Amino acid sequence: MENQETRSMKPYQKIPIQECNEPLVPIPTDCFTLESPHPYVKLGADYGSKSPYYLRQRVLDALMTAQANLQQNYPGWNICIFDAYRPIVVQQFMVNHTFQSLITERKLNLQNLSPQERERLWQEVHQFWAVPSDNPATPPPHSTGAAIDITLTDAKGEAIDMGSPIDEISERSYPHHYEKSPTPSEQIYHQNRKILHQTMTSQGFFRHPKEWWHFSLGDQLWALQYNQKYPNNPVMAKYGRWEG
């Protein structure tokens, strides 16, 4: 396996963390739509005694308010939780799985790839997957309990079409990919992404720049985006890697 720790740090990983020690709490299963069985468990990820359906308390509170507001505007709709808390071991599993999936999808032979070709593949993976770092200063966002991957379901319980599946490694995952599309169906995808975005940002979440589904509140990526928006009132990250 490649030495992922040697790769350049992402800008958000330079944000200092002032851990607030807020508890990691279970997400109420009766309040949201949940992916069941969990998608990474189906692939073979081992959460051990942990559960993916946990968040820090304030993050959960904000998510529940976002859900209430969504239902006021779109009766019967739900936030559908794809993934939340993710231990480092699961992050490592999914990074490796994604790398191998790219090899398989493209019908490549790993042994025949040059170091440069391998590195380009890893760069693709790490556009969407954080390095599973054990360094307390650079935790993967999901390992903090402050990041969540979500979509929406309608009053019939059916998924709202966002134009691409969660975790897809392509430009279709970029939040504004369909913004200027002349195709009516693709404009619907963009409007659906806007509804999701507005639902979450109304409660202080920020969205990942390259993932329409990923939102966070209080971690390093959130702090970087907050500081970019409010440069006169900079903050530190509130949540580091959950150690409980």
Which stretches in the chain have pLDDT values below 70?
1-8, 244
Residues with Cβ within 8 Å of residue 66, at least 6 apart in sequence: 79, 199, 200, 202, 203, 205
State pTM to two decimals.
0.93
For the stretch 34-91, pLDDT in tens is: 988 899 999 999 998 888 999 999 999 999 999 999 999 999 999 999 999 999 999 9
CA distance 40 to 13: 25
CATH class of 4-229: alpha beta
Q: What is the DSSP annotation of 186-213?
A: HHHHHHHHHHHHHHHHTTT-EE-TT-TT
Selecting among 19, 22, 124, 211, the annotated active-site residue is 211
Q: Is 173 helix (H, G, I), strand (E, B) or coil?
A: helix
What would the two tokens of residue 169 be?
């490694």
Token pair 């006021």 in the structure block, residue: 72
Question: What values do phi and psi take at 237, rounded to 5?
Answer: -70, 145
pLDDT of residue 87: 94
CA distance 210 to 217: 16
The answer to whether 2 is a known catalytic residue is no
pLDDT of residue 8: 56
Per-residue confidence (pLDDT) for residue 128, from 0 to 100? 86
Give me the pLDDT at residue 7, please: 52
Q: What is the DSSP letter of 179?
A: T
Q: What HEC string does 102-138 produce?
A: HHHHCCCCHHHCCHHHHHHHHHHHHHHCCCCCCCCCC
For the chain, the C-alpha Rg in angstroms (whole number) is 18
